Amino acid sequence: MNFGSDNQSGASEQVLNAIIAANAGSSSSYGTDEWTHKAELLLAEIFETDLKAYFVTSGTAANCLALSCLVQPWDQIVCHDHAHILNDELTAPEMYTGGARLTGLDIDRPKLSQQALFEYLTTFEGHEPHTPQPRALSITQLSESGCAYSLEEIQALTSLAKKHDMNVHMDGARFANALISLNCSPADMTWKAGVDVLCLGASKNGALAAEAVIFFNKELAKDFEYRRKRAGHLLSKGRLLGAQFCGWLEQNHWLDLAIQSNAQAHKLAQSIQSSCYSELAWPEQKANFGNEVFAFIDNAKIKELRNAGAVFYEWPKRFLPTKDRSDATLVRLVVSFNTSDSELTQFENVLHSSK
Amino acid sequence: MNFGSDNQSGASEQVLNAIIAANAGSSSSYGTDEWTHKAELLLAEIFETDLKAYFVTSGTAANCLALSCLVQPWDQIVCHDHAHILNDELTAPEMYTGGARLTGLDIDRPKLSQQALFEYLTTFEGHEPHTPQPRALSITQLSESGCAYSLEEIQALTSLAKKHDMNVHMDGARFANALISLNCSPADMTWKAGVDVLCLGASKNGALAAEAVIFFNKELAKDFEYRRKRAGHLLSKGRLLGAQFCGWLEQNHWLDLAIQSNAQAHKLAQSIQSSCYSELAWPEQKANFGNEVFAFIDNAKIKELRNAGAVFYEWPKRFLPTKDRSDATLVRLVVSFNTSDSELTQFENVLHSSK
Amino acid sequence: MNFGSDNQSGASEQVLNAIIAANAGSSSSYGTDEWTHKAELLLAEIFETDLKAYFVTSGTAANCLALSCLVQPWDQIVCHDHAHILNDELTAPEMYTGGARLTGLDIDRPKLSQQALFEYLTTFEGHEPHTPQPRALSITQLSESGCAYSLEEIQALTSLAKKHDMNVHMDGARFANALISLNCSPADMTWKAGVDVLCLGASKNGALAAEAVIFFNKELAKDFEYRRKRAGHLLSKGRLLGAQFCGWLEQNHWLDLAIQSNAQAHKLAQSIQSSCYSELAWPEQKANFGNEVFAFIDNAKIKELRNAGAVFYEWPKRFLPTKDRSDATLVRLVVSFNTSDSELTQFENVLHSSK
Amino acid sequence: MNFGSDNQSGASEQVLNAIIAANAGSSSSYGTDEWTHKAELLLAEIFETDLKAYFVTSGTAANCLALSCLVQPWDQIVCHDHAHILNDELTAPEMYTGGARLTGLDIDRPKLSQQALFEYLTTFEGHEPHTPQPRALSITQLSESGCAYSLEEIQALTSLAKKHDMNVHMDGARFANALISLNCSPADMTWKAGVDVLCLGASKNGALAAEAVIFFNKELAKDFEYRRKRAGHLLSKGRLLGAQFCGWLEQNHWLDLAIQSNAQAHKLAQSIQSSCYSELAWPEQKANFGNEVFAFIDNAKIKELRNAGAVFYEWPKRFLPTKDRSDATLVRLVVSFNTSDSELTQFENVLHSSK
């Protein structure tokens, strides 16, 4: 019963086989290999547009390299208060951007709302050159709280951003899960909705260590190769990254993996909703969610579950939607592409048992 | 009627004379001159303790150099949401600290409250090495909203900080004004209350360009000279800074200047309270304040004042204590050491006139 | 006939199998997995000492993270003028160290000489805080020019460094090849010879993307985990790195690979020495070298070799030992663990043919 | 007999009077005052061209802010091996540029030669994105060794730079002294000779703390205000800087000061040449020099001079034109605008005395 994180699974068979196949023989280095080239072509096809794609091994590297292309060191990046870039990447955003400022909004909601962004941007009034100006918006799709932004929500946020001359970044660590949840096309959820650069995560959904930084606005990519090299993220044996992406993207494998984990997550959500010891944390979650379930679970039941071997994390108290619950704990349960039915059944049995 | 800022006045006569006197003859360079040496001795005497003092020309340099000695590039600095370091120093804090993160708390109040700091630190739960850890607290005395923290408030905040292994910085751009307001000793308001490093501003209170970074915790100063040089803030003709501080500190001149500006500010506050077109912005301000007055003034009256030649600034909407006032505007009025009685009378006349 | 670089081969079978084995099942993330743990234990055993080891995917990341633990942002790092950190890692050293200065010495020789380092350190005279002080020495073993430093040479350099309070870094991108060349123990070539931190490269010698940063002086490692995370080099699926190192180290596989590539390189060197169209570039190379051969080859012969399909690189003119050769070109030929006898024979045939 | 440095004198009377005059009354802050405005206009007139000028308090700040506008953090700045930016500004260039690399050339000569720059740029061969590319050239006029570059030399260097797409910076800490030495116009020595940005130093020639960063290529200045603010170098009472420059520039005062110090330096040079205990250090110096004299003085005579109260510095051994002189010491003697005839006579008497 491991619901700790989708980064605790290995690679899917198809991705592993791609690595094995690409390992044979000589290949030119530093990302000039055939797999890297093919992966970029596959992405252009999937996203139905011309684009520039670069591959790195970690989500932090992908996000921070992308952001560094969107702002100057004296600018401000606006994001949701729960965002990974604000809470889980140490000060990598500052290191990569040369010192830009992150501002988190809307701590009480699971997604950044149009209203909060509007209010912030219109009451801002910082005067130049004294105050960092908002120059980039970062949206996490799936949000850090497991909720997918609808296409309308994304468009509303990016419109506001564009009106204020801000570039738009999407942290897509769980992009595929959001895509399945919304049942739309990759293009719809990105450049057609106003996204300039997407960090497409494969590591959490079937790869070992592979993230793509995809520029729909290619002009913004002009310094990317310098930035990646300077950060030590240009792999000499680039085929390792290219091959993972080829194996992941071909034959819709990436979508199949997300379909699988989302479906299992829905079963888990139903167990939680139907138990009298637990409830879903955010009303929003009842609609669009992916492979993560956030729930309040009674404290006694939490203990029982842990005793039975369930692995999951408590969520930071400062993000609590209802701050005054002392009887229950907010937890995050993450489902992976290889979470089994028996794990779900076992979890449900403990959750529903009246002891 | 210039209430724009206390940085729009020149130097006081005593400070200017010190510069003139120090200008004569040869003197060793890079802060090894006699005035610089004497200024440090005067500070040790005034603060009644052994200390290390360094001099620079700007408040931003002083604050950011000080902060860079308190945290690592992957740490977090906690401050009030209105703080100068967060709103008016661009991304200098990030540049100087190598990328540390600022977190602002308590946007709705004019000072950082013990309660807000307590709640933040106890619900924080960021896990290492993924989340920047709070390692420094910065307090602004006078606060950015013109209110002085009481000794008890300072102690309460620094105690919380120490409990969480945080170093404490005080931004004392208007330190003298706060001191007069509290009527306590410099030692009481700093190291005796738990402050590790103080940025003591002279520029806004009678000097031209002179700020001291004073380390009560001398261990924290060990890299300061490298940091200052690397930032281009080691003046070759250091006597310019030493002389200003000597002139400013001798014979309690710095306190006399603050007594003068605080007294004028109290007259201004009374004008505001007694007019039916205006009111003081923060209830807290009725007690401890210095040389700044924050007020709601009716929009029509604002126009009248400006037409009469009054200079003052509107305060950012996002810091408004009451967000929904559309009839009145929040303004900041700053009194300088050389604000004249006639300016105050003229202001009062317009403010009280029924048109 | 690919002598372009040892980073153009894939992983060895044993390393690939380790990745495949480690891929199965759940595993805790961010370097807390069993392979990572085991890899560190293996290194402690092999180096016959207690140590701290961290794993990253690229040599640039390994070197620059290591260096950032050895110096402050206002210090100087001394290295050979041909060093990878000075010529091939863009400004990653500056980015990681927060702006420390690299100084390259001894441009005319294939290794940094004791004499050049001595002369530099004793005539330096930079005054604090105006001049960056030498605080770290970086040695590349194999040197960038393919020559191994003898144990005596390493000791002489590290003694000088220690005398000037400098920490010592070894860039061991081709460490195994140097070890085989010197026929000594890993301990002899590192901590017993005065090295504080070693970057042990596996990527060029049988792994796909795996480098270890090994601290013999564990005190220097105290911030490493923050630094790695902040640079985006903490992999969520850390087993990818741990597994490669386990596969690479077990049963002396890493040494076997280096024995193989060194042996083939010696054959190549003999071909070069015995041809009238070529000669070895540095006299030093006749003794200690590893899997790289630097040679002057007649310009006409260069063309012939390329036409026959040989892949190799010209070496930068500014590193030329003899600046005025216009008839011949300085080239680097790198042998990999899987360079075949037939490639060598084919190369020799073209090299020796009188056309 | 103080020949330690021209930064050991105070301000000239005219500059001090300008400060006093500007100190009176209110003035708008942050460089929007009338003196700052006027200083820029005076510079435009003096340099006979449209330009952007910004004022800061230190030469390190001026140089490093200027350089940060010329290169990206992954680029290379080429300069003379003796340059102030390379030897006397700690790692401020790296801090301000975000980590660009400095490369020093021509250690054995007192100025950067066209030949050395040509050789470097044409044998460089660094490959992108692995090697920092030369993107800026920095020339110091007077050179750090006291020699003025002729107009032809400047043009030759800037032509090479432009051919390689490099921007050109001139460190003019002693610009006025060089101008008098060459007897040409400010325009001739800067933008007409290919200089994009000049750091014009007043501090060493009659001001207290005032340096101008002057962009002839105004496009390069577009981020300057952010950069200056972010570095804490935007003074609130900007009139301090504007006034110094007004006082310094008006009525050719800056040139008169340089004429005076150059004339005294020539007398000093004659004393040195005519003594049998000393000689000028660089043959080049016999022609174009300013207010600095570099000389070999017999070791015994050095002692005598120091005993007589002469203040001067030894020059770093690694810059020695002739490395093997053990009988004499290389010293730098700097003449200031207020060096008196009696100081010169006293020095000469000791220098020429046969004991």
Q: In angstroms, what CA-CA distances link B309 with B10, B290, C309, D304?
A: 20, 24, 83, 67
Residues D315 and D294 placed together within one structural domain of the fold: yes
Do C98 and B73 lie within an 8 Å CB cutoff? Answer: yes
- pLDDT, mean of each 10-residue run, chain C (355 residues): 89 98 93 97 98 98 98 98 97 98 94 96 90 98 95 98 98 97 97 98 97 98 98 97 98 98 95 94 77 94 96 89 80 94 96 88
Query: Which pLDDT score, from 0 to 100, does residue D171 have?
Result: 98
User: Does pLDDT of A313 surpass 70?
Assistant: yes
User: Does pLDDT of D144 surpass 70?
Assistant: yes
Residues D59 and D168 placed together within one structural domain of the fold: yes
Starting at the edge strand found earlier in the chain, the sheet holding A52-56 runs: A52-56, A211-215, A197-201, A167-172, A133-140, A75-80, A101-105
Q: What is the mean pLDDT of residues B127-131?
A: 94
For the record, the structure tokens of D224 come out as 């300057």
Query: Which pLDDT score, from 0 to 100, does residue C285 have?
Result: 66
Measured between alpha carbons, how far is C138 from C66 in angstroms, rounded to an integer? 10
Q: With bands split at pLDDT 50, 70 and 90, how would you rate the model's confidence at D6? A: confident
Q: What is the mean pLDDT of residues B71-94?
A: 98
Nearest to C283 by CA among C153, C147, C151: C147
Q: Which residues of D touch B26 (CB under 8 A)?
A: 2, 8-9
Do C131 and D87 lie within an 8 Å CB cutoff? Answer: yes
Q: With bands split at pLDDT 50, 70 and 90, how would you rate the model's confidence at D321? A: confident
Nearest to B98 by CA among A225, C94, A300: C94
Asked if residue A19 belongs to a domain, the reply is yes
Query: Which pLDDT score, from 0 to 100, does residue C355 have?
Result: 67
Nearest to A196 by CA among A221, A224, A226, A160: A221
Which carries the bigger pLDDT value, residue A326 or residue C152?
C152
Q: What is the mean pLDDT of residues A176-198?
A: 98
Q: What is the mean pLDDT of residues B184-200?
A: 98
Residues C212 and C81 placed together within one structural domain of the fold: yes
Asked if residue B119 belongs to a domain, the reply is yes
The DSSP output letter for D25 is S
Do B229 and C74 lie within an 8 Å CB cutoff? Answer: yes
Residues C217 and C340 placed together within one structural domain of the fold: no
Residue A235 CB neighbours (<10 A): 28
Measured between alpha carbons, how far is C312 from C226 in angstroms, rounded to an integer? 39
Residues C124 and C267 placed together within one structural domain of the fold: no
Q: Which run of H or E residues covers position D286?
A: none
Nearest to D39 by CA among D64, D58, D18: D18
Q: What is the dihedral of CA B305, B310, B311, B317, to 10 degrees?
A: -20
Query: Which pLDDT score, from 0 to 100, does residue D355 have?
Result: 67
Measured between alpha carbons, how far is C79 from C71 in angstroms, rounded to an integer? 14
- Residues A112 and B306 sit within 8 Å (Cβ to Cβ): no
- Percent of chain C as helix, strand, coil, to the nearest 5: 45, 20, 35
**Residue C122 sits in a domain of what CATH number?**
3.40.640.10
Measured between alpha carbons, how far is A118 from A105 in angstroms, rounded to an integer? 11
Residues A60 and A205 placed together within one structural domain of the fold: yes
User: Does pLDDT of D14 surpass 80?
Assistant: yes
Q: Which run of H or E residues covers position B151?
A: helix B151-163
Query: Which pLDDT score, from 0 to 100, does residue D320 have?
Result: 81
Residues B340 and B241 placed together within one structural domain of the fold: no
Only one residue has tokens 């489902």, namely A335
Query: Which pLDDT score, from 0 to 100, does residue A323 have?
Result: 62
Q: Which run of H or E residues covers position A293?
A: strand A292-298
pLDDT single digits (tens) A84-131: 999 999 999 999 999 999 999 999 899 999 999 999 999 888 899 999
- Residues D249 and D265 sit within 8 Å (Cβ to Cβ): no
For residue C110, give how far its alpha carbon lies from the nearest alpha carbon of chain D (Å). 17
Residues D201 and D261 placed together within one structural domain of the fold: no
What is the amino acid identity at position C111?
Answer: K
What is the amino acid identity at position C15?
Answer: V
Do D318 and C94 lie within an 8 Å CB cutoff? Answer: no
Measured between alpha carbons, how far is B318 from C280 in angstroms, rounded to an integer? 71
Q: With bands split at pLDDT 50, 70 and 90, how would you rate the model's confidence at B6? A: confident
Evaluate the CA torsion angle B266, B271, B276, B278 in order and state its sign. Answer: negative
Nearest to C291 by CA among C259, C320, C330: C259
User: Does pLDDT of A285 surpass 80?
Assistant: no
Residues C284 and C243 placed together within one structural domain of the fold: no
Only one residue has tokens 């003229």, namely B346
Q: Which run of H or E residues covers position A52?
A: strand A52-56
Measured between alpha carbons, how far is B315 from A212 in angstroms, rounded to an integer? 43
Do D209 and B240 lie within an 8 Å CB cutoff? Answer: yes
Measured between alpha carbons, how far is B232 from D199 in angstroms, rounded to an integer? 14
Q: Which of D225, D253, D281 is the last residue of a domain?
A: D253
Q: Which residues of A touch B (CB under 8 A)?
A: 73-75, 87-91, 94-95, 98-102, 120, 123-126, 129-132, 316-318
Asked if residue D314 belongs to a domain, the reply is yes
Q: Which of D253, D269, D284 is the last residue of a domain?
A: D253
Asked if residue A5 belongs to a domain, the reply is no
Asked if residue B130 belongs to a domain, the reply is yes
Nearest to C292 by CA among C315, C316, C266: C266
For A228-280, the DSSP string reads: HHHTT---SSTHHHHHHHHHHHGGGHHHHHHHHHHHHHHHHHHHHHT-TTEEE
Only one residue has tokens 């191994």, namely C148
Measured between alpha carbons, how far is C217 from C58 in angstroms, rounded to an integer? 22
For residue A123, give how far its alpha carbon lies from the nearest alpha carbon of chain B (Å). 5
Domain residue limits at A343: 254-352
Please, which chains are in contact with A (at least 3 CB pairs closer than 8 A)?
A: B, C, D
Residues B207 and B293 placed together within one structural domain of the fold: no
Residues C246 and C330 placed together within one structural domain of the fold: no
User: Does pLDDT of D323 surpass 70?
Assistant: no
For residue D118, give how far its alpha carbon lies from the nearest alpha carbon of chain C (Å). 12
Contacts of A45 (CB under 8 A, 6+ apart): none
Contacts of C322 (CB under 8 A, 6+ apart): none
Q: Whole-prediction pTM value?
A: 0.97
- Residues B194 and B117 sit within 8 Å (Cβ to Cβ): no
Q: With bands split at pLDDT 50, 70 and 90, how would you rate the model's confidence at B284? A: low
Q: Which residues of A touch D (CB under 8 A)?
A: 72-74, 98-99, 128-130, 223, 225-230, 234
pLDDT single digits (tens) B29-68: 999 999 999 999 999 999 999 999 999 999 999 999 999 9
Residue D152 CB neighbours (<10 A): 10
Q: Which residues of C touch A309 (CB under 8 A)?
A: none
Do A90 and B124 lie within an 8 Å CB cutoff? Answer: no
Measured between alpha carbons, how far is B49 from D2 in angstroms, rounded to an integer? 36
Asked if residue C6 belongs to a domain, the reply is no
User: Does pLDDT of B124 surpass 90?
Assistant: no
Q: What is the mean pLDDT of residues D101-123?
A: 95
Measured between alpha carbons, how far is B234 from B55 in angstroms, rounded to an integer? 8
Q: What is the dihedral of CA A295, A297, A303, A304, to 10 degrees?
A: -100
Do C91 and D73 lie within an 8 Å CB cutoff? Answer: yes
The DSSP output letter for A101 is E
Q: Which of A203, A224, A252 is the last residue of a domain?
A: A252
Q: With bands split at pLDDT 50, 70 and 90, how would you rate the model's confidence at D288? A: confident
Mutation for testing the C interface, residue in A223, A237, A339 having most C CBs under 10 Å: A237
For residue A102, give how far its alpha carbon lies from the nearest alpha carbon of chain C (Å). 15
Specify the range with the lowest mean pLDDT, choosing from A12-21, B79-88, B96-105, C125-134: C125-134
Measured between alpha carbons, how far is B202 from B244 in angstroms, rounded to an integer? 8
pLDDT single digits (tens) D30-59: 999 999 999 999 999 999 999 999 999 999
For residue A210, give how far its alpha carbon lies from the nearest alpha carbon of chain C (Å). 10
Q: Which residues of B touch A90 (CB under 8 A)?
A: 74, 129-132
Q: Which run of H or E residues covers position A298?
A: strand A292-298
For B191-204, the DSSP string reads: GGGT-SEEEEE-GG
Q: What is the mean pLDDT of residues D173-201?
A: 98
Q: What is the mean pLDDT of residues A184-206?
A: 98
For D36-97, the DSSP string reads: HHHHHHHHHHHTTS--EEEEES-HHHHHHHHHHTT--TTEEEEEETT-HHHHTSTTHHHHHH
Q: Which residues of D touch B65 (CB under 8 A)?
A: 232
Total domains, chain C: 2
Q: In angstroms, what CA-CA distances link C172 with C68, C117, C183, C199, D167?
A: 17, 20, 16, 5, 37
Measured between alpha carbons, how far is A24 from A47 in angstroms, rounded to an integer? 30
Among D91, D99, D123, the residue with its CB nearest the CB of C91 is D99
- Residues D61 and D211 sit within 8 Å (Cβ to Cβ): yes
Provide the mean pLDDT of chain D: 95
Contacts of A242 (CB under 8 A, 6+ apart): A22, A31, A33, A34, A35, A36, A37, A38, A39, A55
Radius of gyration of chain B (CA): 20
Cα B234 from chain centroid (whole Å): 22
Asked if residue A244 belongs to a domain, the reply is yes
Asked if residue B129 belongs to a domain, the reply is yes
Residues D36 and D168 placed together within one structural domain of the fold: yes
pLDDT single digits (tens) B286-303: 668 899 999 999 999 999
